Amino acid sequence: MKKIQKFVFPVLLLLMLLLGFFWMTHRPETHKKVEARVLDRIPVSVACVSKAAVRDSFSITGTVEAFREADIFSESAGLVRRVSAEPGEQKKAGETLLILDNELATARQQRAEAHFRQARRDVDRYRNLYKEGAVALSAYETVQLQREEAEAEFVAADRKFNDTRVKAPFSGVVTSRLVEQGELVHEGMKVAHIVDMSRVKIIIFVPEREMRRFVEGTSLTVTNDLYPGEIFKGKVTSVSDKSGRDHTFRIEVLLQNTGKVIFRSGMFARVLSSGERERQAVLVPRVALVSGIRKPELFVVRRGKAYLKSFLAGVERQKQVEVLGGLAPGDSVVTSGQNELHDGADVLVIDQQKSSARP
């Protein structure tokens, strides 16, 4: 019996050592498999599709432009004799900006005017003689023709004289003057620039899905960051019939600019359009979109997997997009980590964002 005990004890000890060795060698492999399964799952943040009350409002930033502006060119050549316009000066339509050397033009005008007066007197005299039968009809017609030629010469000479005075084409502010007194000006040379800021145009580019808000004659609200708290009223005056490559349409909003607050060309202004009533809408976070609003797609998480899904988008709001179809309230959508995903990928949700009732 003692011999058996002596034999069994070493055997049991050996078996225990073998079992311990086996357990030590296989445990890390099992641990690695668990770790591998965890690492295969892509960590993501998700948010729920929500339903909230919204008001159909729209805000877009545009650029302020002058109602009218023009480059002014000289229609005559000569030395600048007098300058009557300075940058920043207000001018009325027809007021003189520059006067060029007009000595020769004045002489031509006076001579043409004298010939025209003489031709009219000749016509009056020959008319009376023709009525009395003292001259032939052909002689009377020749004098009439000479009168018409003299009138044409006078009109041309008078136009040349007037061209020596460069005038404002409309009421506005001179923004630049490019010549000085004594400088030689050539015909067709740009000499000044003028803008009419009594009214301004706000140029905005609106996506086609929002076009129904901007019909000609529609009144809109305008704000500017330089004048916080100030509200201005504008009216749509022009809607482009052709969109650009980005599927936006050019729209002009006209605004009076004669109050205490003055808009200047090149400023930014915000055009606002708001609906009258609230309605219920399904909303999804804007950051969940994978490829932008033109092709709205996102990843929906179901049972630990992410599936790429397209949906029908409506109005784009500040941080959310309206869902018109394809998603339902309560769906979990990926808001962070989309770049690592593919359709059907295993995911690990590390952050569950709460849905917000505010659009």
141-154 per-position pLDDT tens digit: 999 999 999 999 99
**pLDDT band, residue 317 (cuts 50/70/90):** confident
Candidate from 10-14, 109-113, 314-318, 344-348 with smallest mean pLDDT: 10-14
- Confidence (pLDDT) at 208: 82
For residue 359, is pLDDT > 60? no
Show the DSSP H helices in 64-210 as ranges. Answer: 103-132, 137-163
Q: Which residue has the tokens 């990926």?
A: 334
Per the model's pLDDT, the better-predicted residue between 292 and 11 turns out to be: 292
The pLDDT of residue 125 = 92
91 CB-side CA count, 13 A: 26
Confidence at residue 229, expressed as pLDDT on a 0 to 100 scale: 83
pLDDT tens for 160-215 read 999 999 999 999 999 999 999 999 999 999 999 999 999 999 999 988 877 888 88
Q: Please give the helix or strand (H or E) that residue 36 lies within, else none.
A: helix 2-39
Q: Is the pLDDT of residue 19 over 80?
A: no
Q: What is the pLDDT of residues 202-248, one digit of tens each?
A: 999 988 877 888 889 988 889 998 888 888 999 999 999 888 887 88
Check residue 36 and give its pLDDT: 44
| Residue 332 to residue 299: CA distance in whole angstroms | 9
List the domains of the chain with CATH numbers.
43-54+278-353 (2.40.420.20), 59-66+197-273 (2.40.30.170), 104-162 (1.10.287.470)
pLDDT at residue 32 greater than cutoff 50: no
pLDDT exceeds cutoff 70 at 15:
no
Asked whether residue 34 carries a pLDDT value surpassing 60, the answer given is no
Query: Starting from the edge strand earliest in sequence, which strands make up the sheet with 320-325, in order?
Result: 50-55, 278-285, 320-325, 312-316
- Residues 261, 262, 266, 271: is their CA dihedral positive or negative? positive
Q: What is the pLDDT of residue 33?
A: 45
State CA 34 to chain mean position distance.
55
pLDDT > 90: what percent of the chain?
51
The model's pLDDT over 56-115, given as tens digits with 9 standing for 90+, comes to: 677 889 999 999 999 999 999 999 999 999 998 999 999 999 999 988 889 999 999 999
Q: Would the pLDDT of 307 be above 60?
A: yes
- Report the DSSP beta bridge partners of residue 43: 348
